[in-house]
Chain A
Amino acid sequence: MTLPPTARRLAARRRIQAGLALCLGAAALAACAGSADPEEPAGGDGDEQTVTFRSWSPIEQTTRQMIDSFTEANPDVTIDATIFNYPEYVVDLQTRASSGTMPDIIGLQPGALTQQYREKLMPLEQCAADTWGDDWESRFHPVGLEQARMGNPDGDEHYYALPLLVQTVNLWANSELLDAAGIEPPATWDDLKAAVATLGDAGDAAPFLLPAKDAWLRNVVFLQIANNLEPGRVYQAENGEVPWTDPRIVEAFDYWSRLFTEGIAQDGALALDSYPNGVNQFEAGNAAMIPLGAWWIQQSDPSKTEIAPLSEGMSGYEPFLFPTLPGGAPESQLVGGIDVALGISADAADPDLACEVLTDWIAGDGGQVLINTFNDLPAVTGLNPEEFTSDKQEQIWNQLTQDWMPKVQWSRYFESPEIDTAVADALAGVAAGQLTPQQAAESVQAVQDQQG
């Protein structure tokens, strides 16, 4: 059948109008679907409860095991977790916080990150007391609790985050290379220089691999130097009690500089990142010493499918502290703190359930699963892996958790992100030869002055 032109136009227009109506209808339906309560389980089962979790740590595989542990005991609970790389995580968290879609439980670093979200987090003392009793604080390493409240306004004693994992920052030695060269991990600055000279002559491995591209690593090495030289002085500078140009702090910048000028660090240290390149080199046996932290024990996690020969039961490694410095503290100082803390959103759909999950992961069955992977050191005392794969692994674990962690006095973090960045920039400037130690200290002081 052939329609006249006007009728064809009318028919075409009707088809267009019908199409538009269909599109609008579909859009409306989609909008209705999209407006469903996100807390409502998709299956429509009213008994099922969902807790959302986002963080950069623990790693995804371990988080999955912790979730399985909790949901096996609580089958009506679903935990929706997403683990990001840290840079992506802070973007995601900031976007969610400003759009009112914060997850129930979030991973936090102490200080600036926790403080940024403080107003959107619920205080956790009641949750902790309900789970562990009124003396719950005694279960935690003191430095973890201290850092959990770092940066709180005066008079605010609340805990907006509780530590999940803690750590020391220290050096690791490849014990095979050191044994072959007939040397011990250096205890003093002179020992370090002698060890670097000996190891440099002994083979192609870097005596002291410094992945100084990472701002965080520059800062933790500097904090070890500064605290070994004058314990606590840098924190006094951050608090404005002494200037950053204090001679002892300038001297700490100078020791940092000497890592480069005296050939202790490898060539091109400022271009080497710790992950993945630095640790790959160390695990491959291409370096004798590297500054990292207690978390390096995770390389020997027995649940990993592939473990490098040096990492099998930690057979090839030995932890040691940054050497003492001439005229400094008689013993190496322990620097460390929180690896990752957990907080609960003030708008959590079910705060009690979120509290159950959080406390389970810190010190319950989920925590046990986490620690079994040697991910880092537990924030609570007395939680140990159920199985060790070697005596050496157990000995290192005990050294880290019993000998070192309880004695950690100095924080691996600065409170202010501006100072953190200023120190990292100053250290890069010194390492690159752009700044003298005095100029580096002055540049940090200038940032502090700007902050008022």
Chain B
Amino acid sequence: MTASTSLVPAARNTRAAGAGPRRPARRFTRERLVALGFIAPAVVLFATFVVYPIVFNVQSSLLDWDGVSAGTPVGLDNYRDLFADPTFHTTLRNSAFWIVLTIVPQAALGFALAWLLNTRLRGRTVYRTLFFLPAVLSPVVVGIVWQRLLDPFNGVLAQLGRATGIDLLTRSYLSDPSTAIFAVIVVNVWMWTGFSMLFYLAGLQLVDHSVVEAARIDGATGWQLIRRIVLPLLKPTHLALLLLGIIGSLKTFELVWVLTEGGPNHASELMPTYLFKQAFQLQSFGYGATIAVVLLVVAVGSSLAMLRTFGSGFITGDRS
């Protein structure tokens, strides 16, 4: 890098002096070739594993195709059908629920845990590990365990409910279309709160203690300190969690699949589960690709909107 930046002005100076203009130009070109050589592997990988699949998906979305035989071009028919598909509307509604009801509680609980575990609490390392543990488990394992816990016939919660007379615990949350998506969201919040906690712990440790101390000297009480000093200072953490939360919500698959398979009767369907069913169970690969394209547009659109609103430096904390 140093060589490159120092050579360019040198070449310009030489040309300005009118002596030997050809040789520096060739060196400049060689420098660029070397640079391109270094960039090329990344470009090839990006083109192969990111650009090509996107192009392939868009192309597939314009076909009536089972994924194996030759497809038939249908123009934008798949898009027209998708936007008229009531199950797709359900997936959009569920995605909205998912984004709001996972990001906010996860952030609130994660911050509360981080705040408590950032004090001189005895055994805090053990608590941190325990709270973070669900985030490293496989969603499939989490799904199977929670399915057993929530089973109203023989599950732990139902048995506890029957023993204590708390009817709320004996309800069939996963099999009731009006509660299924919320039951899955609760499990998701349980799983990922530790992840938010970890982010906030890192953020809290970067907060300037002198600012906090100054606020205390000025008479800020606990809640005032959190609301007026700490939370604003953690803005980059909030925004990073928001962005990760939105993208994570849009691509959630395993947990929903194991807990409800998107049911009952599509009540907890999300875009990825519906995409899988269409592409691989109903052999409508073209229609599945259409869902994938819409999913991509929503994910990229929301990410760009965040970048536009908050600036690209919000993750790093660079306020410029």
Contact = CB atoms under 8 A, between A and B. Distances in A.
B34 interface: yes
B57 interface: no
A268 B264 contact: no
B37 A20 contact: yes
A258 interface: no
B153 A272 contact: yes
Interface stretch (A173-181, A358-366, A429-437): A429-437
B153 A267 contact: yes
A20 to B, nearest CB: 5
Contacts of A97: 67-68
Given A270-B263, A272-B153, A91 B147 contact: no
A277 B280 contact: no
A268 B152 contact: yes
B16 interface: no
Interface stretch (A72-80, A114-122, A156-164, A331-339): A114-122
Interface in B261-290: 261, 263-267, 276-277, 280-283, 285
A276 B282 contact: no
Interface string A76-89: 00000000000100
A356 interface: no
A277 B153 CA distance: 12
A28 interface: no
Most buried by A among B66, B67, B68, B172: B68
Contacts of A59: none
Most buried by A among B148, B267, B282, B283: B283
Given A270-B264, A277-B147, 16 more contacts: A94-B280, A116-B68, A116-B69, A116-B283, A206-B153, A209-B153, A213-B175, A266-B153, A269-B175, A273-B147, A418-B282, A421-B281, A428-B263, A428-B264, A432-B175, A432-B264
Contact of B68 (A13, A94, A215, A421): A94
Interface in A3-38: 9, 12-13, 16-17, 20
B34 A272 contact: no
Contact of B281 (A90, A98, A429): A90
Given A270-B263, A425-B265, A434-B265, A12 B3 contact: yes
25 contacts: A9-B3, A12-B3, A20-B37, A87-B280, A94-B67, A94-B280, A116-B66, A116-B68, A119-B68, A213-B261, A213-B263, A267-B170, A267-B172, A268-B152, A270-B172, A271-B174, A272-B147, A276-B144, A281-B154, A425-B265, A428-B265, A429-B264, A431-B264, A432-B177, A432-B265
Nearest to A266: B153
B172 A271 contact: yes
B144 A213 contact: no
B176 interface: yes
B62 interface: no
B150 interface: yes
Nearest to B44: A27
Contacts of B260: 213, 271
Given A268-B172, A417-B281, A277 B144 contact: yes
Contacts of A213: 175, 260-261, 263-264
A27 to B, nearest CB: 8
Contacts of A49: none
A13 B2 CA distance: 13
B90 to A, nearest CB: 12
A112 interface: yes
B80 to A, nearest CB: 14
A441 to B, nearest CB: 15
B147 A117 contact: no
B175 A421 contact: no
Interface of B: 3, 30, 34, 37-38, 66-69, 144, 147-148, 150-154, 158, 170, 172-177, 180, 259-261, 263-267, 276-277, 280-283, 285
A62 interface: no
A202 to B, nearest CB: 16
Contact of A425 (B148, B158, B266): B266
A245 to B, nearest CB: 19
Contacts of B177: 432, 434
A286 interface: yes
Contact of A268 (B3, B175, B266, B276): B175
Interface in A265-301: 266-273, 276-277, 281, 286
Interface in A199-242: 206, 209, 212-215
Contacts of B180: 271
Nearest to A17: B34
A255 B277 CA distance: 28
A349 to B, nearest CB: 20
A9 B151 CA distance: 70
B207 to A, nearest CB: 43
A270 B183 CA distance: 14
Contacts of B38: 20
Nearest to A120: B68
Most buried by A among B3, B175, B260: B175
Contacts of A271: 147, 150-152, 172-175, 180, 259-260, 264
Contacts of A276: 144
Contacts of B259: 271
Contacts of B69: 116, 119
Considering the complex of A and B, which 5 residue pairs feature the smallest CB-CB distances, nearest first? A270-B175, A271-B174, A268-B172, A268-B152, A271-B175
A320 B173 CA distance: 32
Contacts of B264: 213, 270-271, 428-429, 431-432
Contacts of A268: 150-153, 172, 174-175
Contacts of A91: 280
Nearest to A94: B67
B84 to A, nearest CB: 12
Contacts of B30: 13
A116 B282 CA distance: 11
A98 B267 CA distance: 32
Contacts of A90: 280-281
B153 to A, nearest CB: 4
A206 B152 CA distance: 11
Interface string A337-366: 000000000000000000000000000000
A13 B4 CA distance: 11
Contact of A13 (B34, B67, B170): B34
Contacts of B147: 271-273, 277
Contacts of A269: 175
B11 to A, nearest CB: 13
B39 to A, nearest CB: 12
B233 to A, nearest CB: 44
A214 B266 CA distance: 13
B154 A117 contact: no
Contacts of B281: 90, 417, 421
A429 B151 CA distance: 19
Contacts of A120: 68
A20 B147 CA distance: 54
